[in-house]
Chains A and B, each alone.
Chain A
Amino acid sequence: MSNDNAAPSSSSAAANGSADSAAPRRNSKRPKYSKFTQQELPACKPILTPGWVISAFLLVSVIFVPIGVASLFASRDVVEVVDRYETACIPAQNRTNKVAYIQSSANKICVRTLTVPKRMKAPIYIYYELDNFYQNHRRYVKSRNDMQLRSNSSQDDTSNCKPEDLINGTAIVPCGLIAWSLFNDTYSFSRGNESLNVNKKDISWKSDRDHKFGDNVFPKNFQSGGLKGGGSLNESKPLSEQEDLIVWMRTAALPTFRKLYGRIEVDLNRGDTINVTLGNHYNTYSFNGKKRLVLSTTSWLGGKNDFLGIAYLTVGGLCLFLAVCFIIVYLVKPRRLGDPSYLSWNRSPGGQR
């Protein structure tokens, strides 16, 4: 009858107890506790409650509307004069074959008259705007050699520059399609009889001038091939001072782009008539590209650009609207948080809810 066997469960429990307390558990495979392995890392558990949704919307609208207003005002302050001239600057008799005209050696001077709609404070930036010009074309973008542009020592390095790399076996500096197709329309301005000085210094980013275009690299063999793609360069000036080239070579992101031409550093008054003497040399006619001349002031945000302001205002307004909507929904049909009746297994299968 006597039976000393303890119940298995209690014996093992006792064994645990002792093992837990004292004995070094060498053989135990018991995993060690850590918050990581037990997946109990402290965490904040954001719940997108209606309150949060509404406040988020309100917050966004509160921040965005003022920014939008400010940006819009900044943009409205900017005065911009745009003149599209690519057709106007072709004599009427040549308009049937513009390409032939632009490729001919005829005198392509053309005079345009602009009226200043509002007072423009100096500096007034002169841009030319091209259209349908794919500066971002793959063949075009890579057709340059940054090494060559930067340092004299690698001026024979014309890799990537095909087909504008070599002339009679000697390297073209600067090589490549971008440089070759340098924009070469010229503008000079006069108000009445007073000619307005165009400052072409410092129109490129300083980093480009200082680091990408060497001050000991001089143009060589440039535009000396049979086919001229665009403007030529003064061979006595180093590339770092050829700011038109530097601006041109910062390729634009989109096929419609503006590039800075120069600055007029006097104020223009409302109603002023500006005469532009325009050297219409650049061929955009082959590909039906438009050419525009733009005079523009800037604000703290840059040139005339309503987009940001409108975007900010729209988003701010939309958020405000949504906040109101949600508040109305919240008032009309409130949803109690954590309502168990929303649980799928509590919803009656018949779908009475």
Chain B
Amino acid sequence: MSGGSGWERIRSTRGGRLSRETSLTGRTARTVRLGRVQPQAPGYRTIFCNDREANLPVRFKGNSISTTKYNFLTFLPKGLFEQFRRVANCYFLLISILSMTPISPVNPVTNVVPLSLVLFVSLIKEAFEDWKRLQNDMVINNNPVDVLHDQVWETIPWKKLQVGDIVRIKQDGFFPADLLFLASTNADGVCYIETSNLDGETNLKIRKAVERTWDYLTPEKAVEFKGEVQCEQPNNSLYTFTGNLIIENQTLPLSPNQLLLRGCSLRNTEYIVGAVIFTGHETKVMMNSMNVPSKRSTLERKLDKLILALFGTLFGMCLVGAIGSGIFISSDYYYLELQRGVGLEFNPSSRFSVAILTLFTLITLYSTIIPISLYVSIEMIKFIQCAQFINKDLHMYHVETNTPALARTSNLNEELGQVEYIFSDKTGTLTRNLMEFFKCSIGGEVYGTGFTEIERGGAQRMGAKIQEAQRSPHAVHEKGFNFDDSRIMRGAWRNESNPDVCKEFFRCLAICHTVLTEGDESPDKITYQAASPDEAALVTAAKNFGFFFYRRTPTMIYVRESHVEKMGNITDVPYEILNVLEFNSTRKRQSVVCRYADGRLVLYCKGADTVIYERLADGNNELKKITREHLEQFGSAGLRTLCLAYKDLNPETYESWNEKFIQAKSSLRDREKKLDEVAELIEKDLILIGATAIEDKLQEGVPACIETLAKAGIKIWVLTGDKMETAINIAYACNLINNDMKQFIISSETDAIREVEEKGDQVEIARFMKEVVKEELKRCLEEAQHSMCTVSGPKLTLVIDGKCLMYALDPSLRVMLLNLSLNCSSVVCCRVSPLQKAQVTSLVKKGARKITLSIGDGANDVSMIQAAHIGVGISGMEGMQAVMASDFAIAQFRFLTDLLLVHGRWSYLRICKVITYFFYKNLTFTLTQFWFTFHTGFSGQRFYDDWFQSLYNVIFTALPVIIVGLFDKDVSAALSKKYPELYKEGIKNMFFKWRVVWTWAFFSVYQSLVFYHFVTISGTSGKNLSGRMFGLWDVSTMAFTCVVITVNLRLLMMCNSITRWHYISVGGSILAWFVFILIYSLLRENVYYVIYVLMGTFYFYLTIILVPIVALLGDFIYQGVERWFFPYDYQVVQEMHRNDPEDNSRAGLLEIGNRLTPQEERSYAIAQLPRELSKHTGFAFDSPGYESFFAAQLGVHAPQKAWDVARRASMRGKPKPSKKH
């Protein structure tokens, strides 16, 4: 086999690298958990295709999937178990049990009522969420699929599919299970699949059926197929598959090439027939989908610490009380009758046991210090925030794809308000993976009237107004072509100054490519199959310029040329393709040698500007200079550029070269290298034609969004599988990098590394790479630190590729990498594997302890989505893998602004308020109880009635705080986006720092002292004209009234906006207390009539006016001073806009729905673009799997690139080279 040597070489290098990679994975497995590897059942599974009965004994799993947590039976036990995993609930269970014992000073209701209420609400929420999951599963399980049944295709739901069934999948359909590919409508038993769901790669992959099965296409034939498949047990490795198909006593080996995985979809093939091999949860994709680890927000983890602190406080208080009781207890207090018939708890002769038992007594008494309803309140708040605010936000609804935002977990709302690092995928997230021909430079003249978003933004920033050229009425905008310039469209180029150059330009576009045509040969209906969307865009452009490439044979290209000879003239011109010098990543160019019908021999070449310029013939420097300027201009506008050049060949030179080429092509050793060398011989002395500029269409509003996020103090990292050039280009386009920034590039594409790699010694490669990476890191870090020292040093940016990253992530270098990257305002990682994406994410998450967010759209982003604190999936596209793994799903990258700056920020603010308020109100309440303990001989007598205490948390103070958690907003949504810097308050965790907690605690102590002492201090005088005295319950009821009033008023004091619901809930809560006590005091013995007694005295009224005001005075002064002298940013913004009319965007929202108004769009100031021309020229044209794709199309077996899926798969399946031994 001709490619044998290539195979060997690549296998050995890749194999070695893979083994390294796995060992690295093994080491980092603790930090990044990527799916659990199922223990594999030994042996093979045998499947009888098209024979349900035969498969019956094995009992394969069905194809229905279930992602629910509970079922009907397990709901209660499992749900309760889940609930009691929370420490607070467990604690309250314990307290409830304790309060049933006689040592408890309180009635069990005190603790049982709140606990059961909390559990009840939580369980309802769980049930509701699980119900939604169930519905989701049902939708998937009920998708229709055609299955062979009695010689006809019968449509059944996915869930009914069984192993061994023969199914038919039509074009664009998804595979319902892992299928063995039997036959396709394509003649050569090939089908194209899109695996973007699995790995995010949008280029098509080829699968080829075993030749023996190609005929089983029609139902009549397919029914005859009786094969037996022996294959490996289900596992989670996407790229391996080994098995045999035994058909009529013939054993055919199966490889991943014949496996169609669930989740992929069929493309460019009318339909295929396949046999089901793995179903449901046993499919590879499902085995890869791990249990979504339940994420908890950082704030909640901090809350745990607060709760722990409260436990500590509780214990301290109890200890004080217990010691006090041990000292106090004495039989001198004869009226307590402590001599006879007294239990251990009051027995003066055993003070120690008194203390111990009192400790428990006090624990039950002070249990209110732990805010039991906090968790459930937060849960409710977050749930409503998700279900009602995030999911229903019109600002985040995308009309084109009809997709609203979706919060898939309600745990992380406030985390959204603290994100400091965003890890973003590129394709599909930042870009639409849509290449459009946008501009060109022909013979020193720029054509194309459009402006990229970056240009607009730059101009906006400079204050200039861009004159948007009126699009000519004939302007064409189709997929891949977004260009308008009347000077060259519709044959107008003939009147330009250099029509010949134009002609060469268009011919180059139409001829020099490796695109395949498909469909009808008419301009409207034809579709171009290209490995890279850039190529398709270029050919489409040629079509629109009047050079319509419509047919390709192995040796010919047919172009329908218009207006060439004269206007309106259309002729079909054949070009003989003599050689194709393919694109690859080292050459960065592509050439085609073609012969005109008239015998003219031309080499057309297109490629990166650097490589083309090196090979240009001397002379015509003016054109070169101008074109270079244009290239830079395009590059800084975020466009991907290619240079076009040609060269006339004379037949003799060509013939002699062609011999060498054929020789090289048939060589067995180092063929690629030789081919490259030969190509060099002819690709020289080129004549520059011009340059193309392709817009890698960004998702709408991406640069603006990134700009806003950057202002908000969020650092954005792009992690992409693309090549370095592409990645950098996009980073420019998105404003992540600009020319003011200092770039650190750590690349493995250096000569030194290539040289070592050439030798092929794995150990040496690894050692050398590591050394190089270490050196680079060290150098960069030094430079970075140096420039950080200088005051106004440039912003830094780091670009690193996957191979280097692999070594940089090594534990010994990790710290350096982390330090370097944290100093950079943006980081671009290219050519990274999904695993590395996750590793980078968790490096920052764990190493820097910053809050991270990952956003992506494909299955290759799943790992990083799950590794980050928050995973965001792009929804509305076809792939759902990322969404399924994500915590939030939005339709567009730009919605991150709303998600983070508005929802996240508000959520954070609200949750902080809720938590601190809960902390405050429970602490205050409990402390009054604590002060009372000192006056009861430390006996643990309760100050308040049982029901006061149990209802305090669930009725008298419950609702207002939830209202605050829902409605409080410091500044409006528009201002939140206008002042992204406000977001920094969240990143710095300004509202839930220990300092904040201490402040609340301080005022809590103060208030509780006020409550207790102000109410009791005048306890020794008659309280009205009748001279009668108050008893314990009168005093405590009065104190409780004061507490309820104060605590509710305190809530109003911390509100930034007070809606009618605030008034209702606060007023309602206070009223509820009075209604309650008015009724309750008629029913209970101890508090009988107390409120009526109290209300008959002036004293009561004077006290409930005095005490709340005195209690709140401290807070009021604090707030006033803080606002006056040390205002928070949001407070200043509030003040700046205090006279703004109520923002009511109702009308606007109803109309615009999804789109930003142009004004709004531009009001987001876009990055500062340098006025001077940049050095950066984007270089288009690279797509993984490109060469092999084309080669396979022509039936040529070319060595596949290492990143090709099928290739990777076959490699893993095969044993490692024996070199290892």
Binding site for B on A (CB under 8 A): 1-8, 12, 16, 20, 27-50, 53, 56, 60, 64, 67, 71, 123, 125, 127, 129, 133-141, 146, 150, 162-164, 177, 180-181, 202-205, 207-208, 211-212, 229-230, 247, 250-260, 263, 283, 286-288, 296, 298-305, 307-308, 311-312, 315, 318-319, 322, 326, 329, 335, 337-340, 342-345
Contacts and interface: CB of A to CB of B under 8 A. Distances in A.
Contact of A254 (B969, B1016, B1027, B1124): B1016
A298 B973 CA distance: 59
Interface in B1124-1151: 1124-1125, 1127, 1129, 1131-1138, 1142-1146, 1149-1151
Interface string B555-566: 000000010000
A41 B1020 contact: no
A260 B1027 CA distance: 7
B1027 A303 contact: yes
B975 to A, nearest CB: 11
Nearest to A49: B1135
Contact of A253 (B1026, B1035, B1142): B1035
A153 B1028 CA distance: 30
B523 A1 contact: yes
6 contacts: A3-B524, A30-B397, A43-B1062, A125-B1022, A287-B333, A339-B1132
A203 B392 CA distance: 65
Contacts of B404: 29-31
Contacts of B394: 30-31, 33, 38
A22 B389 CA distance: 27
Interface string B1202-1220: 0000000000000000000
B336 interface: yes
A138 B1097 contact: no
Interface string B1031-1066: 110111000000000000000000111111110000
A45 B332 CA distance: 60
Nearest to B1152: A16
A252 B394 CA distance: 61
B25 interface: no
A260 B1149 CA distance: 70
Interface string B317-342: 00000000000001011111110111
Contacts of B341: 162-163
B845 interface: no
A286 B389 contact: no
Contact of A204 (B546, B1028, B1032, B1062): B1028
B937 A134 contact: yes
Given A127-B1027, A136-B936, A139-B336, 6 more contacts: A27-B402, A39-B906, A41-B1061, A212-B1085, A299-B1025, A344-B984
Nearest to A288: B332
B1124 A335 contact: yes
Contacts of B1089: 205, 207-208, 211
Contacts of B1029: 127, 247, 250, 252, 257-260
B979 to A, nearest CB: 8
Given A134-B937, A141-B1032, A312-B1106, A37 B1025 contact: no
A42 B333 CA distance: 61
B748 to A, nearest CB: 38
B1142 A42 contact: yes
B562 A1 contact: yes
B1032 A37 contact: no
B1092 A40 contact: no
A53 B1124 contact: yes
A74 B1196 CA distance: 110
B1136 A338 contact: yes
Contacts of B361: 138
Nearest to B1132: A342
Contacts of B333: 134, 137, 286-287
Nearest to B1022: A303
A164 B334 CA distance: 13
Contacts of A129: 1020
A258 B1027 CA distance: 11
Contact of B337 (A8, A164, A319): A164
B1085 A338 contact: no
B875 to A, nearest CB: 11
Interface residues of B, number: 124
Contacts of A260: 1022, 1027-1029
Contacts of A5: 476-479, 524
Main secondary structure of the interface of A (DSSP, over half): loop
Contacts of A181: 334-335
B847 interface: no
Interface in B516-557: 523-524, 544, 546, 548
A326 B1089 CA distance: 45
A215 to B, nearest CB: 16
A259 B1023 CA distance: 12
B477 A138 contact: no
Contacts of B389: 37, 39
A323 B1183 CA distance: 71
A14 to B, nearest CB: 12
B981 interface: yes
B735 interface: no
B105 interface: yes
Q: Which 8 A-B pairs have CB atoms at the shortest separation, nearest pair first?
A: A303-B1021, A338-B1135, A338-B1136, A7-B477, A207-B1089, A250-B1031, A181-B335, A146-B1085
B1116 interface: yes
Contact of A337 (B399, B935, B1135, B1146): B1135
A230 B335 CA distance: 9
Nearest to A350: B791
Contacts of B393: 31, 37-38
A311 B1010 CA distance: 11
B1022 A298 contact: yes
A25 B1088 CA distance: 61
A50 B523 CA distance: 72
B69 interface: no
B994 interface: no
Interface in B560-592: 562
Interface string B927-963: 0000010011101111000000000000000000000
Interface in B367-393: 388-389, 391-393
B392 A37 contact: yes
Contacts of A48: 1119-1120, 1123
Given A3-B544, A211-B1088, A345 B981 contact: yes
Contacts of B399: 12, 16, 30
B1103 interface: yes
A319 B1106 CA distance: 13
A32 B1146 CA distance: 11
Nearest to B1061: A41
B315 interface: no
Nearest to A163: B341
B44 interface: no
B92 interface: no
